[in-house]
Structure 1
Amino acid sequence: MARKQSDYLAALLAEEEGVAASPAPARTAPTERSRTTTLLGRESALARVASGEVRQVTQLMLDPARVKVWPGNARFHGHLTEENCRELIESIIAEGGQKVPAVVRRIEGDPDYDYEVIAGTRRLWSIRWLRANSYPDMMFVAQVAQLDDEAAFRLADLENRARADVSDLERARNYLAALTTHYGNHQTRMAERLKLSKGWLSKMLKVAAIPDEVIAAFASPHEVQLKPGYALAQAMQDPMQTTAITRVAQVVANEQAARREAGRPAIPANEVLHRLLTARKMMMGEDGEPERYNYHNRYGRPVLSVQSANRQGVTVRLHAGSGADVEEIVKALRGALAYLEQTGRGLQP
């Protein structure tokens, strides 16, 4: 990955500066002419650096407390944990420090930070964690580069494409923000700059528009992948579908929260997607009835189910042999009433 990252940065810097790398000349015995040419070359290189035509890239060891994450990066920094950074943490410990440098740029006028990370968010998080957990001298290794925002975005995007732990939703929302910020809402221009298919980029931007209250139905935003996410985004083009999906998503999100609280496994992503995509059918119903609400305890045994819901009232069944106490039954009943209310089948006053 170190070589890839170096190549990415070199390509971006070369593009920004308009300077093409020349192949290294064959080694020959030094002559007076070659020494003169070398000196002239050095003078020329220094002059180009001084004039700003060539921008230097410097590698430093930084205090991670003085470095922040660039907001244009795709990764959801708040979702990083010891668990999902464990492999990287162990690698840094085993190697005696961070071997693959991050890419940062200098910040001016900020009293709290000197640099911001363009590529290397997980490395920054891991070094901070190590300094707080028995490795107080661990330093953050980074290349300092001069990049404008659009070049920084392209560099971060190139690195994130090689990262399996950056979700499709993270990238999609990053693209949606960059579309306005860097490309004036021109998808074709953005696709050309990023070397992406226009059709693929269009799908990503649609997925990015899925609202947070719908994403909350999934156990984690990382479960929202492009193909199923695009199907969901397409369904939400219909206002009637959007209303139904949003209501069902709220119900599923509450169920997910209850499962986490009870220590039960989360509802799988494929089941969540199915419930969202069939939300309108569930609310309207072929027989005029909503899909039955079922509550199971942590062992998978049924505790309560809604048998019917209509103008005359709601019929609820309490299952024998579930082992549930009164408190859990009351909790299940409250969940059923909330479900019926949010799907438009609640008890009318």
Structure 2
Amino acid sequence: MARKQSDYLAALLAEEEGDAASAAPPREPAELRSRTTTLLGRESALARVASGEVRQVTQLLLDPARVRIWPGNARNYDLLSEAQCRELIDSIIAEGGQKVPAVVRRVEGDPNHDYEVIAGTRRHWSISWLRANSYPDMQFVAQVAQLDDEAAFRLADLENRARADVSDLERARNYLAALTTHYGNHQTRMAERLKLSKGWLSKMLKVAAIPDAVIAAFASPHDVQLKPGYALAQAMQDKGEAKAIIGVAQVIAREQAARRDAGQPAIPAPDVLRRLLGASKMMLGEDGGPDPYRYINKYGRDVMSIQAINRHGVTVRLHAHPGADDEEIVTALRHMLSHLESTGQSLKR
């Protein structure tokens, strides 16, 4: 019997013995009373375990390399990093190991893995990182549960609701996959099983349907939050609007990549959302008026903006400011040409 199990049963026995001792007749000899209550307590404790009233929980010390991640979890394991897990890593080091066990289940037919993580993805990542970085003896602490896929999904979802670092988009896409896999595409049934508002679940599922080409416009998928994401999903219900949004998103994605390569800050999420929601106006040139496209440098200053678009060409304004240089202007011009081409306003006739 494992140490923790024996300690747990010992505590039960102590409780039962105390109850039985207080009820013993005062005239009974102390030695006989002690022996009787011990036997009664042990029998009662074991009966409670056998009946299922009390469940024994075994914690295992595992090599994380032998434990895979269950694909039904919302968290994207590949997006985890040392920076995201730094607080947890420091806590594990300070406490001399992982204190809160993960939940795993056994797997069959996989020669490389014995278990898979249902809840505890960040703990698994952190222990794996520690083993590769000066703490080779760190063990992954887990308890084994017998769960079918739907129960595993509900358990993982409950844990993820309390985690601020699980993005709305990750959860939304996890729900969309589960809707088909576990609930036969019945949103009402899914909402009841997860104890969620049907309206809230419906919004999450719509956000999940936003295509990757649009998500790529944001600096990080974590920037796509439920409220603004739902507004974007609603706008994309119109086919013409959706085409315009995808075109502008591709331009923004290239801008984001250029900024990363140049070590510049990313375009903030509110600015990305504003440009995406105004995509159709940008394509139409707002009835021949000024197009809102502009290129902003790392200091937040305008470098170039489109003033007008018509059949004769495009009127562009170059903004003067301290620190402006020719290379920056050339870069802004290239992005503007890419924007015009992707929105159907190319100068090539």
**Which of the five TM-score ranges fits, normalised by the shorter chain?**
0.7 to 0.9
* Cross-structure match for 1:42: 46
Q: What are the within-5 Å matches in structure 2 for residues 251-266 of structure 1?
A: 251-266=251-266
Q: Tell me how far apart the structure 2 counterparts of residues 33 and 99 of structure 1 sit (CA, whole Å).
A: 35
For the 8 Å contact 1:57–1:145, the answer to whether it is kept is no
Residue pair 2:173, 2:208 contacting (<8 A) in 1 also: yes
Cα displacement (A) at 1:311 = 1.7
**2:206 alignment partner in structure 1:** 206
Normalization by structure 1: what TM-score?
A: 0.84
Deviation of residue 196 (structure 1)? 0.8
Aligned with 1:27 (options 19, 36, 48): 19
Distance 2:41 2:279 in 1: 74
Q: Is the 8 A contact 2:20 2:37 kept in 1?
A: no
**C-alpha separation in 2, matches of 1:290 and 1:318:** 14
Number of corresponding residues: 322
The answer to whether the Cα contact below 8 Å between 2:218 and 2:253 also exists between their aligned partners in 1 is yes
Q: Give 1:1-349 correspondences, 5 Å limit.
A: 27-29=19-21, 35=39, 39=43, 42=46, 45-46=49-50, 57-289=57-289, 291-320=291-320, 323-349=323-349
Matched-pair contact (CA < 8 Å) for 1:305–1:317: yes
Give the secondary-structure state (helix, strand or coil) at the position aligned to 1:178: helix
Distance 1:97 1:36, change over 3 A: closer
Aligned equivalents of 2:64 and 2:288: distance in 1?
60
Question: Are the counterparts in 2 of residues 92 and 99 from structure 1 also a CA contact under 8 Å?
Answer: yes
Bigger Cα Rg: 2
> Match of 1:110, as an amino acid?
D
Q: Residue type of the partner of 1:66?
A: R
Q: Secondary structure at the match of 1:143?
A: strand
The separation in 2 between residues aligned to 1:86 and 1:34, in whole angstroms, is: 49
Residues 70, 155 of structure 1: alpha-carbon distance in 2 compared, 3 angstrom cutoff: same
Query: How many Å apart are 1:34 and its aligned residue?
Result: 9.1
Q: 1:287 & 1:323 partners in 2: Cα distance?
A: 35
Assess if the C-alpha contact under 8 Å between 2:305 and 2:318 holds in 1. yes
Provide the rounded CA distance (Å) in 2 between the counterparts of 1:232 and 1:136. Answer: 46
More deviation, 214-223/261-270: 261-270
In structure 2, give the amino acid aligned to 1:296.
Answer: I
Structure 1 residue 165: deviation in Å? Answer: 0.7
Question: CA offsets, 1:15-37, max 9 Å, x none?
Answer: xxxxxxxxx97822387699469
CA shift, 1:303, in A, is 3.3
CA displacement 1:273-329 (0-9 Å, x = unmatched): 111112112222333246243223333444333333222122334445564544433
Identity %: 74
RMSD: 2.5
* Structure 1 stretches lacking a partner, 5+ long: 1-23
Name the aligned partner's letter for residue 144 of structure 1. Answer: V
Q: How far 1:237 moved relative to its partner? A: 1.0
Match of 2:288, SS? Answer: coil
Q: CA deviation at 1:136?
A: 0.8
TM-score by length of 2: 0.84
Range with greater deviation from structure 2 (57-66 or 155-164):
57-66
Relative to structure 2, which stretch is displaced further, 312-321 or 64-73? 312-321
- 1:172 maps to amino acid: A
Shift of 1:38: 5.5
- Give the whole-Å Cα distance in 2 for the aligned partners of 1:44 and 1:315: 82
Partners of 1:295 and 1:332 within 8 A in 2: yes
Paired amino acid for 2:108: E
> Structure 2: how far apart are the matches of 1:290 and 1:315?
9
Unaligned stretches of 5+ in structure 2? 1-14, 25-32
Q: Write the distance in 1 (CA, Å) between the matches of 2:59 and 2:271.
A: 48
The answer on whether the counterparts of 2:308 and 2:315 sit within 8 Å (CA) in structure 1 is yes
Partner Cα distance (1:113, 1:314) in 2: 60
State how far apart, in whole Å, the 2-side matches of 1:88 and 1:41 are.
Answer: 37
Moved more, 140-149 or 299-308: 299-308
CA contact (8 A) 2:288 2:309 kept: no
Q: Secondary structure of 1:128's match?
A: helix
Secondary structure in structure 2 of the residue aligned to 1:103: strand
Amino acid of the residue matched to residue 94 of structure 1? A
How far apart are residue 348 of structure 1 and its match? 2.8
Preserved CA contact (<8 Å) 1:70 1:117: yes
CA distance in 2, matches of 1:188, 1:300: 46
